[in-house]
């Protein structure tokens, strides 16, 4: 029996969630170093206790832009929304450290075209993403996710 790459990555991401997310306070702590890059994402999220998300975006690192893809599974929240978020990347010393499974803590809401959200993500290579965004749809979101980010080169 063949397992889809999305399912395999999502299960890996959820497994890494327990390892990389740490405590909520730990995940929200702003690194002492300056940002090493910028990120912008767009994703669709659907939740009913469990949640699924997919989308894409752009990483800006050392003056270059890199397209990326996002897929993940999580727990917490109800509804569906589209998230557009941007923020800073910390701890990225080389591009190869960026792709992989990220543990994510999220909080936000959406009602129609109004909504806000924050996400804090960290991978096993020590790369952290601090994102602020806006949501459209009808959803409450408070929970944790395992997210796989790949560079689309």
Residue 22 burial (CB < 10 Å; 0-12/13-18/19+)? middle
**Is residue 22 scored above 80 in pLDDT?**
no
The first and second tokens of residue 20, run together, are 């990389």
Instruction: Label the pairing between strands 64-90 and 114-123.
Output: unpaired
On average, the pLDDT of the chain sits at: 75
Domain count, the chain: 1
Residue 26 confidence (pLDDT): 40
DSSP-derived 3-state class of residue 18:
helix
pTM: 0.72
- Give pLDDT tens digits for 42-89: 988 787 767 778 899 999 999 999 999 999 877 767 778 787 899 999
Range of 50's domain?
5-151
Mean pLDDT of 27-33: 59
User: Is residue 36 very low, low, confident or very high in pLDDT (cuts 50, 70, 90)?
Assistant: very high
């Amino acid at each position: 029996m063949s397992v889809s790459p999305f399912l395999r990555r999502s299960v890996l991401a959820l497994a890494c969630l327990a390892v990389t997310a740490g405590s909520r306070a730990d995940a929200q702590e702003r690194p002492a170093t300056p940002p090493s890059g910028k990120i912008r994402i767009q994703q669709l999220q659907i939740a009913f206790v469990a949640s699924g998300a997919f989308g894409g975006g752009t990483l800006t690192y050392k003056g270059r832009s890199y397209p990326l893809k996002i897929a993940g599974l999580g727990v917490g929240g109800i509804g569906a929304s589209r998230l557009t978020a941007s923020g800073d990347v910390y701890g990225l010393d080389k591009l190869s450290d960026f792709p992989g499974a990220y543990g994510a803590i999220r909080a936000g809401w959406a009602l129609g075209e109004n909504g806000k959200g924050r996400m804090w993500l960290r991978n096993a290579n020590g790369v952290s993403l601090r994102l602020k965004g806006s949501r459209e749809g009808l959803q409450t979101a408070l929970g944790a996710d395992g997210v796989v980010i790949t560079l689309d080169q």
